[in-house]
Amino acid sequence: MSKRFMSIWFRHLLTDWHVRRQPALQHMPFVLAAPVHGRMIITSASPAAEAQGIRTSMPLADAKAIVSSLQAFDDEPERGAQLLKALGEWCIRYTPVVGIDLPDSLILDVSGCTHLWGGERPYLKELITKLRAIGYDVRGAMADTIGTAWAVARYGKITPIIDSGEQADALMRLPPAALRLEEDILARLQKLGLYQIGSFMNMPQSVLRRRFGQPLLIRLGQALGYETEAIAPLYPVPPYEERLPCLEPIRTAPGIEIALKVLLEQLCLRLQKEGKGLRTAVLKGYRVDNRMVQTEIGTSRASHHPEHLFRLFELKIPTIEPALGIELFTLEASKVEDVASEQEVLWIGNPGLKAPAVAELLDRLAGKIGEDSIRRYLPAEHYWPERSIQQATSLEEKPATAWRTDKPRPVQLLSKPEPVEVTAPIPDYPPMLFRYKGKLHEIRKADGPERIEREWWLEKDGGEHRDYYTVEDTEGQRYWLFRSGHYSGNQSQWFIHGFFA
């Protein structure tokens, strides 16, 4: 049996998507634009805009000169592929083999599927009507080859269904662009006056190869059917979800634990086979009284380790309220990532922060006390003490610069410097004594000053620079004091900022 292919061309894929989201745009001229070499170039235009002469690859400024009321939206480069993928997955109800043909069409292998809809014509009509009803302006065509289906979908004027073996006739009157050719080959054909495929279709192959190269022959062959062409079909990923209906409603914590263990084992088995691990999982319990209870966990790195995941859920089990009983459990991994396969024990030598045990510990802690109470710091290139550290975003993040040890820094730093009373008779000398929390400290030894200028480009409210002194009192206790601003006799403001070891 010969193969049959169907090509669906979305004439305004991206603009139709915008109209679906904002129905008000239906009859308004609008375009999507993206920056190219510093200016905004139109990447797609709505039908209303096209009617007024706006084309793609036109600068946005020119288009606005033509239509002053033109609306422009930013083009997201990945959007088209995402849309086509979603539409392709929707089309799987019509045929098991659906492929994406970027930028704006789908290829369906409909061999042996059409009779279920009562023939090719009703099949095509059904599919096109459904897509148009969703809101996409589509054209479809069916033929023996992908090439012909593609050509007829875009350029065909007579009939969308090309009977088996009639490709040559169908292509005869179409322009060469219908063969999916490169821009320069098209220009050369145009130059030679070959405006229709029919004009060169029957020329000897050696002549065509010499003049236009191999690509033209391949494309021609693919359209006519003597070159094979394959499509990369879409495989929709079934959701990572497991269900466990219970014979008797579950009302106890041990019962929930057993259900959870069963579900986790099933889910982790599948994740292991596919080399994936879950980052977030939701356990839902459907109760007898038609209510639903759920609890959620998250991991800091993808995991498919049932025991570890169970320990995370175990902390949440007390929050599940079974009431009269839970009759159905579902466990869904809402976020799944690839997981690096674990090394053998032999290699676990100096794991440090990368040790799986540490990551699992942090998951447990984050599950109970919240993620924001777990912190890790990296050096930041600032002298101002409060700004000299920054919080790391992940366990893997490496410090960009080395930690500095050239200047003395206290072990304990007060989050806010506390004012102290000092006696400092000589400018730019450390104080002789200071009073902190009612206790008088007589200073024996001191180092400094280390002047730290404020970072006016970061701070909103201006302050003074700080002159830091490391001081040691008679008991050997070491402090970090600073004077805010310049010395001004008794008016100088002194603060304590830290304690040295």
| Residue 404 near another protein by CB under 8 A | yes
Binds another protein by CB under 8 A, chosen from 246, 413, 432, 452:
413
Interaction between residue 410 and another protein (CB under 8 A): yes
Nearer to another protein, 211 or 382 (CB): 382
Nearest approach in angstroms of CB 377 to another protein is: 5
For helices 214-224 and 146-155, what crossing angle results, to 10°? 90
Count of positions on this chain that bind another protein (CB under 8 A)? 56
Verify binding: residue 382, another protein, rule CB under 8 A. no
Please identify, among the stretches 22-30, 83-91, 143-151, 385-393, the one whose residues bind another protein according to the rule CB under 8 A. 385-393
CA torsion angle 11 17 18 23 (round to 10): 100
Kindly report the length of the chain: 501
Which residues are bridge partners to 107 per DSSP? Answer: 7, 99
| DSSP-assigned letters across all residues of 154-206 | HH--S-SBPPTT-HHHHHHTS-GGGG---HHHHHHHHHTT--SHHHHHTS-HH
Per-residue 3-state assignment (H helix, E strand, C coil) for 39-92: EEEEEEECHHHHHCCCCCCCEHHHHHHHCCCCEEEECCCCHHHHHHHHHHHHHC
| Dihedral sign for Cα atoms in the order 42, 45, 48, 50 | positive
Which of 23, 245, 254, 352: binder of another protein (CB under 8 A)?
352
Contact with another protein (CB under 8 A) among 2, 68, 319, 373? 373
Nearer to another protein, 128 or 365 (CB): 365
Q: How far apart are CA 261 and CA 310, in angstroms?
A: 7
Q: Are 104 and 112 in contact (CB under 8 A)?
A: no
Which of the ranges 11-19, 30-38, 343-351, 457-465 carries the binding residues for another protein, by CB under 8 A? 343-351
Q: Does 414 bind another protein (CB under 8 A)?
A: yes
68 binds another protein (CB under 8 A): no
**How many other β-carbons are positioned within 10 Å of the β-carbon of residue 41?**
18
Among 16, 120, 360, 467, binds another protein (CB under 8 A): 360
Interface with another protein (CB under 8 A), residue from 183, 456, 475, 490: 475
452 in Cβ contact with 468 (< 8 Å): yes
Is 324 a binder of another protein (CB under 8 A)? no
368 counts as binding another protein under rule CB under 8 A: yes
**Residues binding another protein (CB under 8 A):** 349-353, 355-358, 360-362, 364-365, 368-369, 373-379, 385, 388-389, 392, 398-399, 403-405, 408-415, 444-447, 470-472, 474-478, 498-501
